[in-house]
Amino acid sequence: MEGEPEKWILMVTARTPTNIAVIKYWGKRDETLILPINDSISVTLDPNHLCTTTTVSVSPSFDRDRMWLNGKEISLQGGRFQSCLREIRARAQDVEDKKKGIKIKKEDWQKLHLHIASYNNFPTAAGLASSAAGLACLVFSLAKLMNLKEDNSQLSAIARQGSGSACRSLYGGFVKWIMGKEDDGSDSLAVQLADEKHWDELVIIIAVVSARQKETSSTSGMRDTVETSALIQHRAMEVVPKRIVQMEKAIQNRDFPSFARLACTDSNQFHAVCLDTYPPIFYMNDTSHRIISCVEKWNRAEGTPQVAYTFDAGPNAVMIARDRKTASLLLQRLLYNFPPQSDTNLDSYIIGDKSILEDAG
Protein backbone atom coordinates (compact mmCIF):
# COMPACT_ATOMS: atom_id res chain seq x y z
CA MET A 1 0.00 0.00 0.00
CA GLU A 2 1.55 3.28 -1.04
CA GLY A 3 0.43 6.90 -0.72
CA GLU A 4 0.46 9.05 2.39
CA PRO A 5 -0.77 6.79 5.20
CA GLU A 6 -4.05 7.66 6.93
CA LYS A 7 -4.81 10.51 4.53
CA TRP A 8 -6.28 8.99 1.43
CA ILE A 9 -9.74 7.75 0.69
CA LEU A 10 -10.92 6.07 -2.49
CA MET A 11 -14.63 6.05 -3.40
CA VAL A 12 -17.01 4.65 -5.98
CA THR A 13 -20.71 5.48 -6.33
CA ALA A 14 -23.17 3.37 -8.31
CA ARG A 15 -26.92 3.35 -8.87
CA THR A 16 -28.93 0.19 -9.44
CA PRO A 17 -32.62 -0.12 -10.20
CA THR A 18 -34.88 -2.70 -8.68
CA ASN A 19 -36.45 -5.49 -10.72
CA ILE A 20 -39.92 -6.99 -10.71
CA ALA A 21 -40.36 -10.68 -11.44
CA VAL A 22 -42.95 -11.65 -14.03
CA ILE A 23 -42.20 -15.33 -13.44
CA LYS A 24 -41.52 -15.55 -9.72
CA TYR A 25 -38.70 -17.02 -7.71
CA TRP A 26 -40.14 -18.65 -4.59
CA GLY A 27 -38.32 -21.43 -2.76
CA LYS A 28 -34.68 -22.39 -2.25
CA ARG A 29 -32.89 -25.70 -2.57
CA ASP A 30 -29.86 -24.31 -0.69
CA GLU A 31 -30.42 -21.61 1.95
CA THR A 32 -26.77 -20.60 2.40
CA LEU A 33 -25.77 -20.30 -1.25
CA ILE A 34 -29.29 -19.07 -2.15
CA LEU A 35 -30.02 -21.56 -4.91
CA PRO A 36 -33.61 -21.48 -6.16
CA ILE A 37 -35.96 -24.33 -7.02
CA ASN A 38 -36.97 -22.75 -10.34
CA ASP A 39 -35.81 -20.28 -12.99
CA SER A 40 -37.35 -16.80 -12.87
CA ILE A 41 -37.74 -13.85 -15.26
CA SER A 42 -37.92 -10.17 -14.36
CA VAL A 43 -38.08 -6.73 -15.84
CA THR A 44 -35.62 -4.17 -14.51
CA LEU A 45 -37.15 -0.78 -13.80
CA ASP A 46 -35.98 2.57 -15.09
CA PRO A 47 -33.03 3.66 -12.89
CA ASN A 48 -34.66 7.09 -12.40
CA HIS A 49 -37.47 5.64 -10.32
CA LEU A 50 -37.02 2.79 -7.86
CA CYS A 51 -33.32 2.52 -7.26
CA THR A 52 -30.57 2.25 -4.70
CA THR A 53 -27.55 4.53 -4.75
CA THR A 54 -24.49 3.22 -2.95
CA THR A 55 -21.14 4.82 -2.22
CA VAL A 56 -18.36 2.49 -1.14
CA SER A 57 -15.10 3.84 0.18
CA VAL A 58 -11.83 2.49 1.46
CA SER A 59 -9.18 4.20 3.55
CA PRO A 60 -6.35 3.03 5.80
CA SER A 61 -7.90 5.22 8.52
CA PHE A 62 -11.04 3.01 8.68
CA ASP A 63 -10.75 0.59 11.60
CA ARG A 64 -13.66 -1.75 10.65
CA ASP A 65 -16.21 -2.38 7.93
CA ARG A 66 -19.33 -0.21 8.45
CA MET A 67 -22.57 0.32 6.57
CA TRP A 68 -25.37 2.90 6.64
CA LEU A 69 -28.79 2.40 5.04
CA ASN A 70 -30.80 5.57 4.46
CA GLY A 71 -28.50 7.39 6.89
CA LYS A 72 -28.83 4.86 9.73
CA GLU A 73 -25.98 2.54 10.64
CA ILE A 74 -26.83 -1.14 10.19
CA SER A 75 -24.98 -4.29 11.15
CA LEU A 76 -22.76 -5.97 8.60
CA GLN A 77 -22.62 -9.13 10.69
CA GLY A 78 -25.31 -11.03 8.75
CA GLY A 79 -24.03 -14.09 6.89
CA ARG A 80 -25.30 -12.76 3.56
CA PHE A 81 -23.35 -9.49 3.66
CA GLN A 82 -20.30 -11.38 4.81
CA SER A 83 -20.64 -13.89 1.94
CA CYS A 84 -20.76 -11.07 -0.62
CA LEU A 85 -17.81 -9.22 0.95
CA ARG A 86 -15.76 -12.43 1.15
CA GLU A 87 -16.48 -13.37 -2.47
CA ILE A 88 -15.60 -9.89 -3.73
CA ARG A 89 -12.43 -9.55 -1.64
CA ALA A 90 -11.29 -12.95 -2.95
CA ARG A 91 -11.46 -11.61 -6.52
CA ALA A 92 -10.05 -8.12 -5.85
CA GLN A 93 -7.25 -6.87 -8.11
CA ASP A 94 -4.48 -4.29 -7.84
CA VAL A 95 -5.80 -0.73 -7.95
CA GLU A 96 -3.80 2.36 -8.80
CA ASP A 97 -4.86 6.00 -8.69
CA LYS A 98 -1.89 7.85 -10.12
CA LYS A 99 -3.34 11.33 -9.49
CA LYS A 100 -3.74 10.65 -5.79
CA GLY A 101 -0.58 8.54 -5.65
CA ILE A 102 -2.48 5.54 -4.31
CA LYS A 103 -1.49 1.96 -5.03
CA ILE A 104 -3.41 -0.93 -3.48
CA LYS A 105 -2.15 -4.46 -4.04
CA LYS A 106 -4.72 -7.24 -4.28
CA GLU A 107 -3.61 -8.81 -1.00
CA ASP A 108 -4.10 -5.42 0.77
CA TRP A 109 -7.88 -5.71 0.28
CA GLN A 110 -7.95 -8.43 2.96
CA LYS A 111 -6.74 -5.92 5.57
CA LEU A 112 -8.36 -2.69 4.40
CA HIS A 113 -11.77 -1.75 5.79
CA LEU A 114 -14.76 -0.39 3.93
CA HIS A 115 -17.45 2.20 4.56
CA ILE A 116 -20.68 1.67 2.64
CA ALA A 117 -23.52 4.20 2.44
CA SER A 118 -26.70 3.15 0.67
CA TYR A 119 -29.94 5.03 -0.07
CA ASN A 120 -33.23 3.67 -1.40
CA ASN A 121 -35.53 6.18 -3.05
CA PHE A 122 -38.55 3.99 -2.13
CA PRO A 123 -39.92 2.23 0.97
CA THR A 124 -37.50 -0.37 2.29
CA ALA A 125 -38.86 -3.92 2.76
CA ALA A 126 -42.44 -3.06 1.75
CA GLY A 127 -42.49 -5.70 -0.95
CA LEU A 128 -40.89 -3.44 -3.54
CA ALA A 129 -37.79 -5.56 -3.96
CA SER A 130 -35.54 -3.16 -2.06
CA SER A 131 -33.11 -5.96 -1.22
CA ALA A 132 -32.72 -6.70 -4.92
CA ALA A 133 -31.56 -3.19 -5.79
CA GLY A 134 -29.56 -2.87 -2.57
CA LEU A 135 -27.49 -6.03 -2.82
CA ALA A 136 -26.96 -5.67 -6.58
CA CYS A 137 -25.69 -2.12 -6.05
CA LEU A 138 -23.44 -3.16 -3.19
CA VAL A 139 -21.82 -5.91 -5.25
CA PHE A 140 -21.49 -3.75 -8.36
CA SER A 141 -19.94 -0.77 -6.57
CA LEU A 142 -17.50 -2.95 -4.59
CA ALA A 143 -16.54 -4.76 -7.79
CA LYS A 144 -15.69 -1.39 -9.37
CA LEU A 145 -13.78 -0.20 -6.30
CA MET A 146 -11.71 -3.39 -6.15
CA ASN A 147 -11.25 -3.58 -9.93
CA LEU A 148 -12.80 -7.04 -10.38
CA LYS A 149 -12.42 -8.60 -13.82
CA GLU A 150 -15.70 -10.57 -13.64
CA ASP A 151 -18.54 -9.74 -16.04
CA ASN A 152 -22.09 -8.90 -14.88
CA SER A 153 -23.24 -12.52 -15.05
CA GLN A 154 -20.40 -13.63 -12.77
CA LEU A 155 -21.14 -10.68 -10.46
CA SER A 156 -24.79 -11.75 -10.42
CA ALA A 157 -23.75 -15.06 -8.84
CA ILE A 158 -22.18 -13.05 -5.99
CA ALA A 159 -25.20 -10.72 -5.61
CA ARG A 160 -27.39 -13.85 -5.50
CA GLN A 161 -25.70 -14.82 -2.23
CA GLY A 162 -26.86 -11.50 -0.74
CA SER A 163 -30.47 -11.86 -1.86
CA GLY A 164 -31.73 -14.16 -4.60
CA SER A 165 -33.66 -11.58 -6.60
CA ALA A 166 -30.64 -9.21 -6.50
CA CYS A 167 -28.85 -11.24 -9.16
CA ARG A 168 -31.41 -10.05 -11.74
CA SER A 169 -30.70 -6.34 -11.07
CA LEU A 170 -27.21 -6.51 -12.59
CA TYR A 171 -28.81 -6.09 -16.02
CA GLY A 172 -31.40 -3.76 -17.49
CA GLY A 173 -34.29 -4.89 -19.70
CA PHE A 174 -35.61 -8.43 -19.33
CA VAL A 175 -33.51 -10.79 -17.27
CA LYS A 176 -33.57 -14.51 -16.55
CA TRP A 177 -32.13 -16.07 -13.42
CA ILE A 178 -31.05 -19.55 -14.42
CA MET A 179 -31.46 -21.80 -11.39
CA GLY A 180 -28.42 -23.91 -12.34
CA LYS A 181 -27.63 -27.51 -11.52
CA GLU A 182 -24.30 -27.39 -9.69
CA ASP A 183 -24.22 -27.83 -5.91
CA ASP A 184 -21.67 -25.01 -5.53
CA GLY A 185 -24.01 -22.54 -7.28
CA SER A 186 -21.46 -21.63 -9.96
CA ASP A 187 -24.09 -21.92 -12.73
CA SER A 188 -26.92 -20.17 -10.84
CA LEU A 189 -26.70 -16.73 -12.39
CA ALA A 190 -28.52 -14.04 -14.35
CA VAL A 191 -28.47 -13.47 -18.10
CA GLN A 192 -30.04 -10.66 -20.10
CA LEU A 193 -32.88 -11.83 -22.38
CA ALA A 194 -33.49 -8.46 -24.04
CA ASP A 195 -32.13 -5.00 -23.39
CA GLU A 196 -34.06 -1.92 -22.20
CA LYS A 197 -34.80 -0.72 -25.76
CA HIS A 198 -36.30 -3.99 -26.96
CA TRP A 199 -39.86 -3.34 -25.70
CA ASP A 200 -39.81 0.28 -24.62
CA GLU A 201 -43.49 1.06 -25.17
CA LEU A 202 -44.36 -0.83 -21.97
CA VAL A 203 -45.06 1.46 -19.00
CA ILE A 204 -44.85 0.28 -15.41
CA ILE A 205 -47.11 1.79 -12.77
CA ILE A 206 -46.73 0.82 -9.13
CA ALA A 207 -49.60 1.49 -6.77
CA VAL A 208 -48.22 1.63 -3.25
CA VAL A 209 -51.11 0.09 -1.35
CA SER A 210 -49.12 0.20 1.86
CA ALA A 211 -45.62 1.51 2.48
CA ARG A 212 -45.39 -0.37 5.79
CA GLN A 213 -42.78 -3.05 6.28
CA LYS A 214 -44.14 -6.49 5.37
CA GLU A 215 -44.96 -8.93 8.17
CA THR A 216 -43.41 -12.07 6.68
CA SER A 217 -40.04 -11.63 4.99
CA SER A 218 -39.53 -13.35 1.63
CA THR A 219 -36.77 -15.44 3.17
CA SER A 220 -38.86 -16.95 5.97
CA GLY A 221 -42.00 -17.07 3.83
CA MET A 222 -40.38 -19.18 1.12
CA ARG A 223 -38.74 -21.42 3.71
CA ASP A 224 -42.18 -22.16 5.24
CA THR A 225 -43.64 -22.74 1.76
CA VAL A 226 -40.96 -25.29 0.82
CA GLU A 227 -41.48 -27.09 4.13
CA THR A 228 -45.27 -27.18 4.19
CA SER A 229 -46.90 -26.51 0.80
CA ALA A 230 -48.10 -29.47 -1.25
CA LEU A 231 -48.44 -27.26 -4.32
CA ILE A 232 -44.93 -25.82 -4.48
CA GLN A 233 -43.29 -28.90 -6.00
CA HIS A 234 -45.91 -28.99 -8.75
CA ARG A 235 -45.31 -25.29 -9.43
CA ALA A 236 -41.50 -25.62 -9.52
CA MET A 237 -41.30 -28.86 -11.50
CA GLU A 238 -44.30 -28.71 -13.84
CA VAL A 239 -45.67 -25.19 -14.19
CA VAL A 240 -42.71 -22.81 -14.14
CA PRO A 241 -40.45 -24.62 -16.66
CA LYS A 242 -43.21 -24.35 -19.30
CA ARG A 243 -43.98 -20.74 -18.41
CA ILE A 244 -40.31 -19.78 -18.69
CA VAL A 245 -40.20 -21.00 -22.29
CA GLN A 246 -43.49 -19.24 -23.12
CA MET A 247 -42.45 -16.01 -21.40
CA GLU A 248 -39.12 -15.89 -23.24
CA LYS A 249 -41.02 -16.26 -26.51
CA ALA A 250 -43.59 -13.58 -25.56
CA ILE A 251 -40.80 -11.14 -24.71
CA GLN A 252 -38.90 -11.91 -27.90
CA ASN A 253 -42.06 -11.35 -30.03
CA ARG A 254 -43.34 -8.42 -27.94
CA ASP A 255 -46.56 -10.41 -27.65
CA PHE A 256 -48.45 -8.46 -24.99
CA PRO A 257 -51.51 -10.77 -24.60
CA SER A 258 -49.25 -13.79 -23.87
CA PHE A 259 -46.94 -11.71 -21.68
CA ALA A 260 -49.85 -10.36 -19.61
CA ARG A 261 -51.54 -13.71 -19.23
CA LEU A 262 -48.31 -15.38 -18.06
CA ALA A 263 -47.37 -12.57 -15.67
CA CYS A 264 -50.84 -12.41 -14.06
CA THR A 265 -51.29 -16.18 -13.72
CA ASP A 266 -47.80 -16.58 -12.31
CA SER A 267 -48.38 -13.86 -9.71
CA ASN A 268 -51.70 -15.49 -8.81
CA GLN A 269 -50.06 -18.90 -8.47
CA PHE A 270 -47.30 -17.50 -6.29
CA HIS A 271 -49.95 -16.07 -3.92
CA ALA A 272 -51.83 -19.39 -4.10
CA VAL A 273 -48.76 -21.27 -2.82
CA CYS A 274 -48.45 -18.66 -0.08
CA LEU A 275 -52.03 -19.49 0.91
CA ASP A 276 -51.16 -23.19 0.70
CA THR A 277 -48.30 -22.64 3.16
CA TYR A 278 -48.97 -23.54 6.78
CA PRO A 279 -49.57 -21.25 8.58
CA PRO A 280 -50.85 -19.39 5.50
CA ILE A 281 -49.11 -16.22 4.31
CA PHE A 282 -51.26 -13.30 3.16
CA TYR A 283 -49.23 -10.77 1.25
CA MET A 284 -52.10 -9.18 -0.66
CA ASN A 285 -54.94 -7.33 1.07
CA ASP A 286 -58.46 -6.26 0.05
CA THR A 287 -57.15 -3.29 -1.92
CA SER A 288 -54.76 -5.57 -3.83
CA HIS A 289 -57.70 -7.85 -4.68
CA ARG A 290 -59.79 -4.89 -5.82
CA ILE A 291 -56.97 -3.78 -8.11
CA ILE A 292 -56.85 -7.27 -9.66
CA SER A 293 -60.62 -7.21 -10.25
CA CYS A 294 -60.43 -3.76 -11.77
CA VAL A 295 -57.69 -4.80 -14.24
CA GLU A 296 -59.34 -8.15 -15.03
CA LYS A 297 -62.69 -6.49 -15.78
CA TRP A 298 -61.06 -3.96 -18.06
CA ASN A 299 -59.04 -6.61 -19.90
CA ARG A 300 -62.15 -8.74 -20.40
CA ALA A 301 -64.19 -5.77 -21.64
CA GLU A 302 -61.50 -4.90 -24.20
CA GLY A 303 -61.33 -8.50 -25.42
CA THR A 304 -57.53 -8.45 -25.21
CA PRO A 305 -55.23 -7.64 -22.25
CA GLN A 306 -54.34 -3.98 -21.87
CA VAL A 307 -52.60 -4.23 -18.53
CA ALA A 308 -50.70 -6.97 -16.65
CA TYR A 309 -50.45 -7.03 -12.87
CA THR A 310 -48.03 -8.72 -10.54
CA PHE A 311 -47.62 -8.66 -6.74
CA ASP A 312 -44.48 -9.60 -4.82
CA ALA A 313 -44.23 -10.32 -1.10
CA GLY A 314 -46.48 -7.40 -0.15
CA PRO A 315 -49.79 -5.75 -1.07
CA ASN A 316 -48.38 -3.26 -3.61
CA ALA A 317 -49.53 -3.64 -7.18
CA VAL A 318 -47.09 -3.53 -10.07
CA MET A 319 -48.99 -2.94 -13.28
CA ILE A 320 -47.53 -3.08 -16.75
CA ALA A 321 -49.48 -1.20 -19.39
CA ARG A 322 -49.06 -2.11 -23.04
CA ASP A 323 -48.31 1.48 -24.08
CA ARG A 324 -48.37 5.09 -22.87
CA LYS A 325 -51.97 5.72 -23.85
CA THR A 326 -53.12 2.68 -21.87
CA ALA A 327 -50.97 3.75 -18.91
CA SER A 328 -52.69 7.12 -18.88
CA LEU A 329 -56.13 5.46 -18.94
CA LEU A 330 -55.03 3.09 -16.20
CA LEU A 331 -54.05 5.96 -13.94
CA GLN A 332 -57.42 7.61 -14.51
CA ARG A 333 -59.18 4.37 -13.58
CA LEU A 334 -57.07 3.91 -10.47
CA LEU A 335 -57.73 7.48 -9.33
CA TYR A 336 -61.45 7.00 -9.94
CA ASN A 337 -61.66 3.64 -8.11
CA PHE A 338 -59.24 4.51 -5.31
CA PRO A 339 -59.84 8.22 -4.77
CA PRO A 340 -57.49 10.08 -2.43
CA GLN A 341 -58.89 10.70 1.06
CA SER A 342 -61.10 7.62 0.98
CA ASP A 343 -60.90 4.35 2.92
CA THR A 344 -59.40 2.62 -0.06
CA ASN A 345 -56.96 5.27 -1.18
CA LEU A 346 -53.46 4.22 -2.10
CA ASP A 347 -50.36 5.57 -0.40
CA SER A 348 -48.90 6.72 -3.70
CA TYR A 349 -48.22 5.85 -7.29
CA ILE A 350 -44.78 5.40 -8.67
CA ILE A 351 -44.78 5.46 -12.40
CA GLY A 352 -42.35 4.46 -15.06
CA ASP A 353 -42.68 7.67 -17.03
CA LYS A 354 -43.31 11.08 -15.49
CA SER A 355 -45.14 12.56 -18.44
CA ILE A 356 -47.91 9.97 -18.09
CA LEU A 357 -49.25 11.86 -15.07
CA GLU A 358 -49.51 15.00 -17.16
CA ASP A 359 -51.27 13.06 -19.92
CA ALA A 360 -53.70 11.73 -17.33
CA GLY A 361 -54.57 15.30 -16.40
Least gap, CB of 106 to ligand DP6 (angstroms): 29
Q: How many Cβ atoms sit within 10 Å of the Cβ of residue 247?
A: 24
Least gap, CB of 153 to ligand DP6 (angstroms): 18
The reply to whether 316 sits near ligand DP6 by the rule CB under 6 A is no
C-beta nearest to ligand DP6: residue: 164
Stretch that binds ligand DP6, among 20-28, 66-74, 229-237, 247-255 (CB under 6 A): 20-28
**The one among 54, 165, 306, 316 contacting ligand DP6 by CB under 6 A:** 165
The reply to whether 258 sits near ligand DP6 by the rule CB under 6 A is no
Least gap, CB of 130 to ligand DP6 (angstroms): 9
CA atoms within 13 A on the CB side of 158: 27
Say which amino acid occupies 284: M
The reply to whether 264 sits near ligand DP6 by the rule CB under 6 A is no
| Helix ranges restricted to H, the chain | 79-91, 130-145, 152-159, 218-228, 232-234, 240-252, 256-275, 286-302, 324-337, 355-360
Stretch that binds ligand DP6, among 66-74, 142-150, 158-166, 289-297 (CB under 6 A): 158-166
Say which amino acid occupies 235: R
Closer to ligand DP6 by Cβ: residue 310 or 326: 310
Residue 240 sits at φ, ψ, to 5 deg, of -65, -45
Are 348 and 236 in contact by the 8 Å Cβ rule? The answer is no
Q: Compute the distance between CA of residue 94 and CA of residue 220 in angstroms, rounded to an integer.
A: 39
**The one among 163, 192, 299, 316 contacting ligand DP6 by CB under 6 A:** 163
x/- mask, ligand DP6, residues 197-226, rule CB under 6 A, reads ---------------------xx-------
Least gap, CB of 231 to ligand DP6 (angstroms): 16
The reply to whether 287 sits near ligand DP6 by the rule CB under 6 A is no
Are 51 and 15 in contact by the 8 Å Cβ rule? The answer is yes
The reply to whether 338 sits near ligand DP6 by the rule CB under 6 A is no
Planar angle of CA 262, 221, 163, nearest 5 degrees: 80
The one-character DSSP state at 235 is I
- The site for ligand DP6 (CB under 6 A) is made up of 21, 24-26, 34, 40, 129, 131, 163-165, 218-219, 312-313
